[in-house]
């Protein structure tokens, strides 16, 4: 298990909170909360050691396409594949926008 | 006929496929769901990370207040997908605390009823003694609360209900199961390890469900209701039982009768489903 931190530029603080997923096999839990204006802060607790470069690439690719609101994102990962991670993040962002 | 079956299937909303939070929300009256100590409270297990295991923000237990059929209720749901629904210090304390508060509400004039959604292998081995202590507190709290209002346990599956929490299930005023449910003190793999594969093959699913599955437990008189895996069916079963009120005598108070039946069992003969049913029914 390891704990990783990431930061990316962002817009204004998000309006609400959202929770998606579960710390089950091959899945992850993601908590979204409003952050400090201009900053997207992500903390990942993952069961897979040595996965920092993979998370970095996944976030970079995802946030290149869209400017996100300022958020504090907490991830509890239980061995989710990058595809599942991306689906969960998209799901949470959708809930933030429409919740 | 085929058309009717398709319509019925389309109208059905599976309960077992829902997560713990969705289950609690589905059983409470629309719009009344209010979660206590939600995931953003971050009340997590302090013991799992020290053992290299990723924790969950709600420690796998959802406590929701609201209304059931218009009356105050607390629904407590265990998330089976997180660590097999195992109970540690935090999750166990959330359940015990919620039940104790419901009993206090009853004493203060708010007749609060409780539903336990049991999806658990029992104590979390990584938190052994603390989990066991918490389960003892849960059991005491069920016995306290059931004096005032029914405490209804539901084992929906797929995890089932085992270990100390199967005793908690046995203490409920009423217990409901689905076909997918299993209920037993020891899980199949534990029994296989102790008794040997010749006696108990944990990979033989028909055999396992035949002895510990929901249908068998209902036929043996160890649970009160056998419900289909459908949100509406489960809701209406709960409404019916709450309308009925407390049972005349809880199953756990009939222990003398059960012990007498169990003493009559010939353990030299390999038990099968029919033998177990007749042992409990006295037929």
Q: Which residues of B touch A23 (CB under 8 A)?
A: 54-56, 81-83
Whether B150 is in a domain gets the answer: yes
Q: Which residues of B touch A43 (CB under 8 A)?
A: none
pLDDT computed for residue A99 by the predictor: 65
Contact call for A76 and B57, based on CB within 8 A:
yes
Q: What is the pLDDT of residues B148-169, one digit of tens each?
A: 999 999 999 999 999 999 999 9
Preceding amide of A5 cis, omega within 30:
no
**Is there a contact between B137 and B85 (Cβ–Cβ < 8 Å)?**
no
Give the domain extent around B144.
Answer: 13-248
Q: What is the pLDDT of residues B59-93, one digit of tens each?
A: 999 999 999 999 999 999 999 999 999 999 999 99
Does B49 lie at the interface with A, CB-CB under 8 angstroms?
yes
Does B40 lie at the interface with A, CB-CB under 8 angstroms?
yes
Q: Is residue A67 over pLDDT 90?
A: no
Helix axes B273-281, B255-263, angle to 10 degrees: 130
User: How big is the CA angle at B283 (ends B152 and B260), to the nearest 5 degrees?
Assistant: 70
Give the best residue of B54, B58, B86, B159 to mutate against chain A (max A CB count within 10 A): B54
Whether B266 is in a domain gets the answer: no
Whether B92 is in a domain gets the answer: yes
Number of domains chain B is built from: 1
- Average pLDDT across chain A, whole number: 95
Residue B29, SS3?
coil
pLDDT computed for residue B283 by the predictor: 52
Whether B225 is in a domain gets the answer: yes
Give the integer Cα–Cα distance in Å for B191 and B207.
Answer: 13
Does B41 lie at the interface with A, CB-CB under 8 angstroms?
no
Give the integer Cα–Cα distance in Å for B265 and B252.
Answer: 20
pTM: 0.94
Whether B281 is in a domain gets the answer: no
DSSP-derived secondary structure letter, B221: T
Contact call for B56 and A23, based on CB within 8 A:
yes
Helix axes B231-244, B20-27, angle to 10 degrees: 60
Whether B126 is in a domain gets the answer: yes
How does residue B281 score in pLDDT terms, banded at 50, 70 and 90? confident
- Beta-strand pair A71-77/A39-46: parallel
DSSP bridge pairs for A6: A42
Mean pLDDT of all residues in B228-245: 97
Give the integer Cα–Cα distance in Å for B14 and B11.
Answer: 10
Indicate which CATH number applies to the domain containing B126. Answer: 3.90.226.10
Q: What is the pLDDT of residues A28-62, one digit of tens each?
A: 999 999 999 999 999 999 999 999 999 999 999 99
**Is there a contact between B62 and B27 (Cβ–Cβ < 8 Å)?**
no
Whether B71 is in a domain gets the answer: yes
Q: What is the pLDDT of residues B14-51, one digit of tens each?
A: 999 999 999 999 999 999 999 999 999 999 999 999 99
């Amino acid at each position: 298990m390891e704990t990783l931190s990431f930061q990316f530029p962002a817009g204004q603080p998000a309006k609400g909170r959202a929770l998606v997923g579960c710390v089950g096999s091959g899945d992850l839990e993601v908590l979204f909360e409003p952050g400090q204006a201009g900053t997207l802060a992500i903390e990942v607790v993952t069961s897979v050691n040595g996965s920092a470069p993979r998370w970095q690439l996944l976030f970079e690719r995802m946030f290149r396409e869209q400017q996100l609101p300022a958020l504090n994102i907490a991830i509890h990962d239980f061995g989710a594949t990058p595809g599942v991670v991306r689906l969960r993040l998209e799901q949470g962002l959708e809930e933030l926008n429409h919740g | 006929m085929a058309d009717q079956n398709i319509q019925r299937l389309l109208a059905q909303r599976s309960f077992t496929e829902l997560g713990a939070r969705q289950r609690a929300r589905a059983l409470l009256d629309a719009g009344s769901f209010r979660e206590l100590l939600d995931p953003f409270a971050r009340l997590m297990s302090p013991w799992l990370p020290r053992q290299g295991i990723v924790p969950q923000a709600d420690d796998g237990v959802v406590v929701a207040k609201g209304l059931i059929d218009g009356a105050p209720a607390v629904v407590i749901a265990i998330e089976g997908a997180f660590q097999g629904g195992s109970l540690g210090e935090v999750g166990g304390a959330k359940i015990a605390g919620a039940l104790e508060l419901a009993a206090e509400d009853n004493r203060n004039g708010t007749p609060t009823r409780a539903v336990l959604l049991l999806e658990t292998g029992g104590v979390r081995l990584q938190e052994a003694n603390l989990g066991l202590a918490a389960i003892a507190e849960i059991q005491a709290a069920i016995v306290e609360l059931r004096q005032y209002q029914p405490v209804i346990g539901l084992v929906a599956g797929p995890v089932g209900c085992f270990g100390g929490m199967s005793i908690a299930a046995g203490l409920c005023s009423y217990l409901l199961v689905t076909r997918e449910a299993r209920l037993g003190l020891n899980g199949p793999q534990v029994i296989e390890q102790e008794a040997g594969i010749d006696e108990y093959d944990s990979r033989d699913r028909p055999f396992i469900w035949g002895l510990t599955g929901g249908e068998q437990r209902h036929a043996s008189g160890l649970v009160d209701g056998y419900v289909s895996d459908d949100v509406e069916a489960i809701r209406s079963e709960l409404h019916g039982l709450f309308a009925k009120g407390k049972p005349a005598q809880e199953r756990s108070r009939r222990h003398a009768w059960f012990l007498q039946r169990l003493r009559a069992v010939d353990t030299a003969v390999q038990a099968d489903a029919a033998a177990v049913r007749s042992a409990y029914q006295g037929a």
